[in-house]
Structure 1
């Protein structure tokens, strides 16, 4: 899950946000990506996104905000380990390298999810509840597929996930964000410094993936040899 955009001095790393218990080390290709980069850019500031959970008019939780809080609490009930983003953030803080930047604002993703109908938010919640007994096993399967760069397995897991199986939520959470990111990347042109974009591995699979969207913008991405 490690790609380079041809002629742009930019690479893309597919990440996993949390690791299952007992994960011993980052894969070598993830470490290589971190060491290659001069600048690291991640999806968005989680605190800024979290602020969008509240309705600014009533100061009450939006239905989808409650959904994401519930998801975070579910993750917190398992002995999970910090994923790639947390590992990179800690390594950057411990070095003299520039702080990470972000591909999108928390408000931009919040606006996309605001457009998802309430009934579909409820359907995602129901799917999440149904998947809860298998959550730890699914996280383990996701990590295993990611570690092996098994694109087919990752695509199947995405299609079965609550966020990927409801069309309107899939559009908001994956398709539209991939399109926004691709336009941002294409508008920049080649980078003077070596730039690493770190996005969830699920954004790099399927016909609406970031890689396919970049291709439609005239940017070719190819696997970085391991």
Structure 2
């Protein structure tokens, strides 16, 4: 979960973007990783993606989804905020947001690190632009999005259950267990979704991480833990030796 790229000043940390509300504490090893770093690199700027959640004109999302999926989502969707109204969202935005409406969560690693980095004037950058994230998400087939939403609606307890199991594995530093949990999740088990969210982005990130390897600054690269496990993970794509940093909490 926490790796040293051998012979460099670069470390790689697998994060949880959200924590279960029942387990909100930042682990000590994550704090230690932040304190070690002189500079940070994150996946992308979440705030910069918000303007892309909605379509610019065109048909309502209602016409893209199966009638029963639309009816059930619309009945429970927030009536205000960045996710409202449902009809204006892009299909991938609805798919990404829907599970969080079934979860009891608090902010995860990145928002906490970003806030502390600002306090300490610690520099940070991103591996990808908002436009690149959106392009990846736009590549998800509509059929896969509909299947994912149907699976969610068939078991509304699944997102919270999956999050808690994944966080437990993460706290133990067990990448194989994280992968096993994700493989059972209806959304991440769909090839079109996994390819867009994980595989394609890992492929794009690897050369950008390699570009940091000559930096004289202690640099911490923070990506979601799922990017570090399974076929085509970021560590494999780096094609560079890494050493796991032992930690305890």
Specify if TM > 0.5: yes
Structure 2 unaligned blocks of 5 or more: 60-87
The alpha carbon displacement at 1:162 in A equals: 3.4
- Summarize deviations over 1:124-153 as a string: whole Å, max 9, x none: 212222342132222211111000011221
Counterparts of residues 19-30 of structure 1 (less than 5 Å): 19-23=19-23, 25-30=25-30
The question of 1:117 aligning with 2:138 is answered: no
Tell me the distance in 1 between the aligned counterparts of 2:223 and 2:5: 14
Give the alignment's TM-score, normalised by structure 2.
Answer: 0.81
Which secondary structure state, in structure 2, belongs to the residue aligned with residue 33 of structure 1?
helix
The question of 1:198 aligning with 2:198 is answered: no
Question: After TM superposition, which residue ranges in structure 1, 4 or more long, deviate above 6 angstroms?
Answer: none
Give the alignment's TM-score, normalised by structure 1.
Answer: 0.88
Q: Which residue of 1 aligns with 2:120?
A: 95
Q: Which residue of 2 aligns with 1:68?
A: 96
Q: Which residue of 1 aligns with 2:48?
A: 48
Question: How many aligned positions are there?
Answer: 219
- Summarize deviations over 1:34-75 as a string: whole Å, max 9, x none: 011001111111122222222345494221122223234334
Q: Which residue of 2 aligns with 1:137?
A: 161
Structural RMSD (CA): 1.9
- CA 135–65 in structure 1, closer or farther in 2 if over 3 Å, else same: closer
Q: Which has the larger radius of gyration?
A: 2
User: Do 2:102 and 2:160's aligned partners in 1 also have CA atoms closer than 8 Å?
Assistant: no
